[in-house]
Amino acid sequence: NPGGSVKDRLALGMIEWAEKNDLLKPGQTVVEASSGNTGIGLATVCAARGYPLVVVMSESFSIERRKLMRFLGAKVVLTNPAHKGTGMVIKAKELADKHGWYWPDQFTNEANAWIHSITTGPEISDAFKAEGKELDHFFTAYGTGGTLKGVGEWLRNNSPGTKIHVCEPNNSPMLYSEIKTTYPPDEKPAKSFEVAHPVWRPHLLQGWAADFIPMLVSKAVDTGYVDQLHHTDGKKAMQVAKDLATKEGIFSGTSGGGVLSSALEFAATLPEGSN
């Protein structure tokens, strides 16, 4: 992951998929809505392949991510934080329609999940097999749904005994509410999509839960890829992320800290020898 997160995989997967299916032309501008990590991943891929990149990002997300994307050659368009994650998506589509840019739409793009089903999932399984162990529990946040759906598909088909645990912010329990996001017929943003999910609240876990449930997440839930939900405290996530950096030398950010904090709490309840 040269850009520093698992989102590098979906960035490469979506661009390669678009190239293979003639959706992206040489030199065509790519535009995407991102809280940061997908934007950074796309910036690395687009820089290497010669595509101009425009990233639409809410002004509430970290300045450091903006700087990284711009350093990699991307242009960053900031949106009003009051318009939340949905506002970023709508703006990205608006720019794509106006200028003829390619919009991968990571929240609905099946290539996002596909890349994890052929890389992340098998790699996790192989790592445990190399140690002669079975994977009992897998923890992930849901974000766009790509990791959840892709790895979930791999585990169900190749490691059916593995329980899949999904984390979401404890003050924004959208999956727990079982209230689904209503999508327009073409699954793209529309006026009805501008209304935030009724239980969504601002939280500290950037990139974990936008103000809607992405299509890929809904598909993963409906397919049965979620065995247990966990509700993660943002402050604990930040502390665990700091501990990972200072005690283990692993720089993961709040996403990794959040998933690990929930996994550690759950692990404390398990019998010895569980994986």
Considering only CA atoms, give the Rg of the chain: 18
**30-33 and 163-169 as β-strands: parallel, antiparallel, unpaired?**
unpaired
Q: Name the token pair of 13.
A: 């997967």
Burial of 272 (0-12, 13-18, 19+ CB in 10 A): exposed
CA distance linking residue 133 with residue 124, whole number of Å? 11
Amino acid letter for position 131: E
Check 34, 159, 172, 255 and give the catalytic one. Answer: 255
Amino acid letter for position 29: T
- CA-nearest of 101, 183, 143, 210 to 9 is 143
CA distance linking residue 240 with residue 254, whole number of Å? 8
CA distance linking residue 272 with residue 128, whole number of Å? 17
CA distance linking residue 46 with residue 143, whole number of Å? 22
Check 7, 93, 149, 236 and give the catalytic one. Answer: 7
Specify which residues 53 forms β-bridges with. 30
Q: Is 255 a catalytic residue?
A: yes
Q: Name the token pair of 34.
A: 């991102």
Q: Is 7 a catalytic residue?
A: yes
Which residues form the catalytic set?
7, 255
